[in-house]
Chain A
Amino acid sequence: MKKILLSLLAVLLCATTVLAGKSYTISVTQIVEHPSLDAMRKGVADRLEEKGIDATFNVHIAQGNAATNVQIISQIIGEQPDLVLAIATTGAQAAAQKIHDRPIVFTGVTDPVTAGLVKDLQNSNATNVTGMSDFSPMDKHVALIQEIVPSTQAIGVIYNAGEPNSVASVGALRENAAKAGLTVEEATIANSSGVYQAAQSLIGRCDVIYIPTDNTAISALESAIKVCTQNQLPLIVADVDSVARGALAAVAVDYYKMGLQTGDMVARILVDGADPSKMPVEFLNDLNLHVNTTAAASMGVTIPDTVLSRASKIIE
């Protein structure tokens, strides 16, 4: 009897210590350092902290190198984390290829189905992978363009045809523009030094320039702003950070908020024991509208009050 009581006590003790002091290790793979990607990582960490979950992050960044990106996965396997957080497409692909015995949560992946991470958005195939897509709802972008520049016939777009996310975005842009009765004029670039020329090549071919979430184009955004200001051409973008830099407006995914929502998914898996194979891919529906009235004036556009009243941030 004494023995049984003692062992019961021991089990109870163990259980309480586990509940009270449970700490988790999360290994992070991220292809490059980039404000949006970093914001997502911070969002995940902040949400876990809010929830009082004790998590240690092992952060690995491949500095844009494909070989290092894969090597990081071996490092992560060695760390034996409770969960792998994969930020952006290439990191998530390498993780999904190599790690099958623990949950992988991706975030900031525009098209997880084409990337091969999940079979469909419902995640109906049984894998250890789930996560969030940052796919921009392109119909809202086209609607914003039409609302700000009602006379638009053709949308000019600048992007790097080598970026998977941009190719997916421009495909969606073409589709949605066609639905709205607009045409799309494309100017592709191979590196950021081509942005100036690409913007110039669009003059006369379009009524407004749109830049999707394209790392190459956005890194040289100032060139596009310069061309647009000189030629009184409105510049509308797909990310809010570019509005502060001088683009006219954007309705966009807030990457920090996306990190917070990803943090919720992580918490459900770690704490509530949710099965990643049964969790559908999530999207961020709560979008931010930023406008820059100074940029609008210099590009010869007056932003309608209907847009201004909806804006979550107005830069003057």
Chain B
Amino acid sequence: MTSYAFFGALEQGFAYGLMVIGVYLTFRVLDFPDLTVDGSLPLGAAVSAVAVTSGYSPLLAILMAAGAGFLAGMVTGILNTKFKILHLLASILTMIALYSINLRIMGRPNIALLGQETVVDWFMKLTGLSPSYSNPLLFLCICLVIVFILIWFLHTEQGLAFLATGNNMQMITSQGVNTDTVIIFGVGLSNALVATSGALVAQNQGAADVNMGVGTIIAGLASVILGETIFGDKTIGRALIAALLGSALYRIAIGLALGLKLGSFSITPSDLNLITALIVVVALVSPRIKRTFLARRAA
């Protein structure tokens, strides 16, 4: 793996970092498997691309994307809590609806941002670094700022109610908290993060594409699990950072798979998904094997 490939993996990992944190909030904190993300990631990209090409500031475009993502998540939350539709199904419904909505927003399946000024360019000029270093640094900074805001929020009274909702809904209801509101807000918040990530990704890759959300949830879940297996989740702050680092690790794994060459005959580019899956499985299983091994030695 060359240093370009390594920093490229970090860049992708942190660009998708907010998406992974969003997935962590629904999947682990709210105990709500949310497939909306496959639609809200391109939603964020679409809103941001349309805003930038219509002359809005790229920063404002990202905030608009976050707002759109929040609304999309709220729809899933409302379908689930108010209309009693199973969470998985509610999120699938929003996701497929978003496909058409994204096409409506963009007016066509792909909007190019090549040559447009983006936050990525701003930061590069500001730091004077080459894109290889400036891009991952920018995305890391954005992720860290959001993580610290989230840590602060999750220690407020509302935040604690939010954390408790996924753990023990009955207990939290008896405390007089309306769990429906918490779920609607939580899924909204999660998708606001995912859409922000989509906006960053679009500004980074030079285009928003209606199909760019495919596989988002898989990448998100793999990153969350990878992060918590390797970095632990003892406190909420640690868990959020672990999710962020998990995202970077996941992309490094893909980077390794992309660069893997064991003779032209044995491995071809078509094996990429399989190799990636294997690398992630190894990462997931190895801590467990190590624990069993250590336990046996102790005994």
From residue 67 to 83 of chain A, which have CB atoms closer than 8 A to chain B?
67-75, 77-79
Contact: B258 with A97, CB < 8 Å? no
Interface string of A54-94 (1 = CB under 8 A from B): 00000111111111111111110111000000000110011
**Taking the nearest CB of chain A, how far is it from the CB of B86, in angstroms?**
22
In the complex, A163 has a CB within 8 A of chain B:
yes
B118 (CB) vs chain A CBs: closest residue: A97
Q: Is A238 an interface residue (CB 8 A)?
A: no
With contacts A98-B131, A163-B109 taken as known, whether A65 is within 8 angstroms of B258 at the C-beta atoms is: no
Contact B8 A60 (CB under 8 A): no
| Segment touching B, from A112-120, A145-153, A201-209 | A112-120
Determine the distance from Cα of A61 to Cα of B270 in the docked complex, in whole angstroms: 7
CB within 8 Å for A71 and B251 given contacts A64-B214, A66-B209, A66-B211? yes
Q: A293 to B259: give the CA distance in the assembly, Å.
A: 47
* A59-B201 in contact (CB<8A): no
Tell me which residues across on chain A come within 8 A of B79, comparing CB atoms: none
Contact A116–B269 (Cβ < 8 Å): no
From B103, B204, B259, B269, give the contact of A61 (CB < 8 A): B269
CB neighbours (8 Å) of A116 from chain B are 112-115, 206-207
Query: Which residues does chain B contribute within 8 Å of A75, judged by CB atoms?
Result: 2, 4-5, 8, 255, 258-259
Complex: chain B residue closest to A70, CB-CB: B205
| Residues 226-253 of B at the A interface (beta carbon under 8 Å) | 251
The answer to the question of B82 belonging to the interface, with a C-beta cut-off of 8 Å to chain A, is no
Residues A160-214 near B (CB distance < 8 A) = 161-164, 167, 190
**Given the complex of chains A and B, what is the CA–CA distance between A268 and B3 in angstroms?**
31
Q: Which chain B residues border A117 with CB–CB below 8 Å?
A: 112, 114
Set of chain A residues within 8 Å of B108, measured between Cβ atoms: 114, 164, 167
- A93 and B2: CB pair below 8 A? no
Determine if B224 is an interface residue (Cβ-Cβ < 8 Å): no
Q: Are A164 and B110 in contact, with the CB atoms below 8 A? A: yes
Q: Which residue of A lies closest to B269 (CB)?
A: A61
Measured CB to CB, the closest approach of chain B to A314, in angstroms, equals 33
Does B273 lie at the interface of the complex (its beta carbon under 8 Å from any beta carbon of A)?
Answer: yes
CB contact list, B1-31 vs A, under 8 A: 1-5, 7-9, 11-12, 16
Besides the known contacts A69-B205, A77-B132, A116-B112, 9 further A-B residue pairs in the complex with CB atoms under 8 A apart: A63-B272, A67-B12, A71-B254, A72-B258, A78-B3, A96-B206, A116-B115, A164-B109, A164-B209
> Nearest 3 pairs between A and B by C-beta?
A74-B8, A116-B112, A78-B2
Residues of B at under 8 Å CB distance from A? Answer: 1-5, 7-9, 11-12, 16, 96, 99, 103, 108-110, 112-115, 131-132, 201, 204-207, 209-215, 219, 251, 254-255, 258-259, 269-270, 272-273
10 contacts between A and B (CB under 8 A): A66-B211, A75-B4, A77-B2, A93-B206, A94-B206, A97-B207, A98-B206, A116-B206, A162-B99, A167-B108
